[in-house]
């Protein structure tokens, strides 16, 4: 189980997936701030996770927000987040991730995620909203084996040498056995910033080693 009790919030009006995804960063930002204890935990290299639940007209969503500090620049971290080749390493349970289309600033990425008990496939629209914000949401027009999914990554400078990575995601599972594993899915999904940190630092070490040869 994820530490802490999930907080349920109600959104009065339902909107399209893209509109909801655009509102999510501001809603979450208004909902909470990092407290002194969380800042101290981040400084000690811990992953901070906050489970959240939302109720929309379409149904119940679960997920949360998580944070980690990465010893790298925001530009380096964002480059990883915007690289589909990295997704199988930085997103839990990703069995396959490949670009299936592009339109303007949007990239469509096919995902197959799961494990020995089953898997689910869907297509996410990924958009680089700004230098610090990357948003994503499920494309409902493409075949999908989950109800819905949307969220964002945000990178912010933290001190002289680090980046604060914030990850938020909400998922709706409207059918299938996957609904039985809601808390397990939440738990692993919120480890994403730690996986990004490991990936970035591993590749920085490799690059440093190649420069030293």
Does the residue 165 lie in any domain? yes
CA-based torsion, 181, 182, 186, 187: positive or negative: negative
> What is the reported pLDDT for 9?
45
CB-based contact 167:139 (threshold 8 Å) = no
Alpha-carbon separation of residue 128 from 153, 171, 203 (angstroms): 10, 20, 22
Residue 174 covered by a domain: yes
* Residues in contact with 189: Cβ distance below 8 Å, sequence separation at least 6, in sequence order: 63, 64, 92, 169, 171
Label residue 59 by pLDDT band (50, 70, 90).
confident
Indicate whether 162 belongs to any domain: yes
Domain holding 137, by residue range, is 7-212
The number of folded domains in the chain is 1
Amino acid 54: pLDDT: 81
In a domain, 203, yes or no: yes
Domain harbouring 130, CATH code? 3.30.530.20
Specify whether the CB–CB gap between 6 and 55 falls below 8 A. no
The pLDDT value given to residue 58: 75
In a domain, 188, yes or no: yes
Supply 77's token pair: 């971290």
Q: How far apart are CA 200 and CA 145, in angstroms?
A: 30
Domain annotation covers residue 2: no
Give the C-alpha separation, 192 to 92, whole Å.
Answer: 7
Measured CA to CA, the distance from residue 168 to residue 52 in angstroms comes to 9
- pLDDT tens track for 72-99: 999 999 999 999 999 999 999 999 999 9
pTM confidence score: 0.84
Which one-letter DSSP state was computed for residue 174?
-
E strand residue ranges, the chain: 7-10, 48-56, 59-70, 94-103, 106-115, 118-128, 133-138, 148-158, 162-172
Largest CA distance in the chain: 59
Is 140 part of any domain? yes
pLDDT-based confidence at 207, cuts 50/70/90?
Answer: low
Query: Is 1 within the bounds of a domain?
Result: no
Residues 149-192: pLDDT tens digits? Answer: 989 999 999 998 999 999 999 998 865 555 667 888 899 999 99
Measuring CA to CA, which residue among 156, 194, 150 is closest to residue 49? 194
């Amino acid at each position: 189980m994820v530490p802490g009790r999930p907080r349920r919030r109600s959104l009065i009006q339902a909107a399209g997936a893209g509109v909801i995804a655009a509102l999510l960063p501001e809603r979450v930002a208004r909902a909470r701030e990092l407290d002194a204890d969380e800042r101290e935990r981040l400084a000690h290299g811990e992953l901070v996770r906050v489970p959240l639940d939302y109720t929309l007209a379409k149904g119940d969503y679960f997920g949360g927000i998580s944070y980690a500090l990465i010893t790298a620049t925001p530009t380096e971290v964002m480059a990883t987040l915007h690289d589909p080749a990295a997704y199988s390493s930085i997103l839990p349970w990703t069995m396959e991730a490949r670009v299936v289309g592009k339109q303007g600033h949007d990239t469509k990425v096919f995902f197959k995620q799961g494990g020995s008990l089953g898997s689910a496939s869907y297509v996410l629209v990924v958009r680089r909203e700004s230098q610090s914000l990357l948003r994503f949401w499920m494309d409902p027009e493409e075949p999908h084996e989950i109800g819905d999914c949307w969220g964002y990554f945000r990178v912010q400078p933290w001190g002289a040498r680090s980046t604060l990575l914030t990850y938020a995601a909400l998922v709706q599972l409207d059918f299938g056995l996957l609904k039985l594993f809601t808390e397990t899915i939440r738990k692993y999904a919120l480890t994403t910033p730690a996986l990004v940190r490991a990936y970035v630092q591993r590749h920085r070490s490799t690059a440093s080693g190649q420069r030293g040869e």
